[in-house]
Chain A
């Protein structure tokens, strides 16, 4: 409790911004707390952290935190973050996006940031729904789900954000839920320290919409759903496709070394200066 108070005083902006805009029981706050703990563990100076978000409920996180914060257009946080990281490589650049933000309107930016391996710690809050605009289908909504924009059931099947980003070349990819907080903590630590593009997909409850679509009415029910529907990646390796159907694989999905865009640019500088 004492530690929590210390974190609140140190990292939350005192001026004007409370209470948050989030619904009671929303999973976004659990992630925000985990992120603040990880930043504190990493020991970054507050001036050295830039937090960039897009648009949506998830993207409101930076407003509350006392860093250099930038709340951008829907889907395009990574483009701003790219410019910041190139212009001032010493800064720790963190982006926060929603699922629609990251892989619908921002999908092209997401795969390109991964391909370039630009050193950004990217967090996608996947609540399987468009929270901010009122519970429409998102690219991660399961097939058949009824939402405000799929009143007869979703005709499409869901994107696996982590697998897409892994295929695009990210240096690190991991997935956790806000129920599995020790894993979440570990993944955030890894992402913050990763040299290269690191993505953590955070499965979180939107109690107001996706909860309703799943037939779960309380935040606790939704977190139990997270507990019951996830499989650790180590265990998933021994399971068949049928056994994994409908399950969410969590853990470290990829961790590899690749030169970052900034590394390549430094080499280019060295070569050009010889000409």
Chain B
């Protein structure tokens, strides 16, 4: 085990390399650029490939090409770059090309606030590309968590053959803190390979768990990959039964496994009031909860590490045992609406929304908690 002083972006690269990422294609954009610069330095040292592409669409295209050829691959981006990537996120979902996309959120819309933090892309991460599609979105609140969740993001991408989006923000990305690299404890998953001959192999069939094995290009399994709706062999189809089978399989391969995607931390779980937070706001919330408890308030915290698919059952269980919930977010209320949906009127839900480009502070959360307590 090694302890290093790392910022979130550096921790992301450490995590990616530990997970076996050997291909990076990107386009510079604040506040994610350090990921690209460090990849450019580090990848050649471990035999990996780095390329600076002409835009973010090209970056994700190249990443998918590398992934189809058998490498674990990622781009990183922010704000406008994430918007440019959306078409290809859909392709990765549809054609089931494993990849991890690190998205360091900054203020928007448009070019917005290049150097300042935000959490306004939570919904975009799930629904930014057109069409109903599966996606996994994780959120990191510290440099260590960025390291850990990057490794897990690669595992999930390989396990489910899906794009996985790792959200962080300008605060997490640029805060330097001690990170102990505990790679040894973490299992590294590789993509499942076919167990049948090329003649029997169905590139887009359902082997039982909804995730078809994925042989790399050039190894004897010649198959067709397309962004069009396709049959079990991968060939374009408009037959309603084949289309229905495909879209339902894509969605269910992740939703049926949602029990394995309940990642969160709780402090003082059975308190009268719970704060539900993620990303850099969860850091402020933890400090705020401690201060509020010192003042005699019965408050706890739930920090979410998975945002999509939303952890409905787990959040519901937390809501069952409290009376009030505060969801502080650096947007106009994106996760709070999911909490409301799960809540079904049981608790009183409060929000604290900040969109001015500065981070939500512990005193702001404490003040809000005091207001909430009659």
Contacts and interface: CB of A to CB of B under 8 A. Distances in A.
Contacts of A109: 54, 58, 61
Contacts of A46: 222
A268 B45 CA distance: 10
B66 to A, nearest CB: 4
Given A88-B70, A109-B54, A272-B45, A17 B235 contact: yes
B222 A71 contact: no
A80 B58 CA distance: 8
A16 interface: yes
Contacts of B147: none
Interface residues on B, range: 35 or more
B63 A50 contact: no
A80 B218 contact: no
A68 interface: yes
A63 B235 contact: yes
Q: Which of B47, B54, B66, B88: most chain A Cβ within 10 A? A: B54
Given A70-B225, A71-B228, A76-B57, A83 B220 contact: no
B219 interface: yes
Contacts of A63: 224, 226, 235-236
Interface string A29-73: 000000000000000001110101000000000110011111111
A83 B235 contact: no
Nearest to B216: A88
A58 B66 CA distance: 24
Contacts of B67: 83
A48 B62 contact: no
A253 interface: no
Given A84-B69, A268-B44, A71 B225 contact: yes
B62 A80 contact: yes
Interface string B213-248: 000111110111111100101011000000000000
Contact of A88 (B44, B218, B225, B226): B218
A112 B65 contact: no
Given A17-B235, A69-B224, A272-B45, A86 B218 contact: no
B53 interface: yes
A68 B45 CA distance: 30
A129 interface: no
A108 B56 CA distance: 12
Interface string A257-275: 0000100010011001001
B64 interface: yes
Interface in A229-275: 261, 265, 268-269, 272, 275
Contacts, number: 137
Contact of B88 (A76, A81, A112): A76
A88 B73 CA distance: 13
B49 A265 contact: yes
A71 B49 CA distance: 24
B87 interface: yes
B352 interface: no
Given A76-B57, A269-B47, A272-B45, A87 B227 contact: no
B68 interface: yes
A83 B88 contact: no
A127 to B, nearest CB: 21
A15 B201 CA distance: 13
Nearest to B46: A272
Contact of A90 (B54, B218, B222, B224): B218
Contacts of B54: 108-109, 112
Contacts of A112: 53-54, 58
B269 interface: no
A91 interface: yes
Contacts of B65: 52, 70, 79-87
Q: Which of B58, B67, B227: most chain A Cβ within 10 A? A: B58
B91 interface: yes
Interface string B262-297: 000000000000000000000000000000000000
B55 interface: yes
B61 A72 contact: yes
Q: Which of B23, B62, B226: most chain A Cβ within 10 A? A: B62
A83 B44 contact: no
B87 A87 contact: no
B44 A272 contact: yes
A114 to B, nearest CB: 11
B355 interface: no
Given A68-B222, A70-B225, A71-B224, A83 B57 contact: no
Q: Which of A68, A76, A83, A88: most chain B Cβ within 10 A? A: A83
Contacts of A16: 231, 233, 235
Nearest to A270: B44
B71 interface: yes
B25 interface: yes
A223 B59 CA distance: 39
Q: Which of A71, A108, A265: most chain B Cβ within 10 A? A: A71
B318 interface: no
Contact of A76 (B58, B70, B218): B58
B51 interface: yes
B217 A84 contact: yes
B84 to A, nearest CB: 11
A79 B51 CA distance: 11
Contacts of B69: 50, 83-84, 87-88, 91
Contacts of B53: 79, 82, 112
B88 A73 contact: yes
* A-B interface, 8 closest residue pairs, ranked by CB to CB distance from nearest: A83-B65, A79-B61, A83-B62, A87-B69, A80-B65, A87-B66, A83-B66, A71-B226
15 contacts: A63-B224, A63-B236, A69-B223, A70-B68, A71-B227, A76-B57, A76-B58, A78-B61, A79-B53, A79-B58, A82-B65, A87-B70, A91-B217, A265-B44, A272-B44
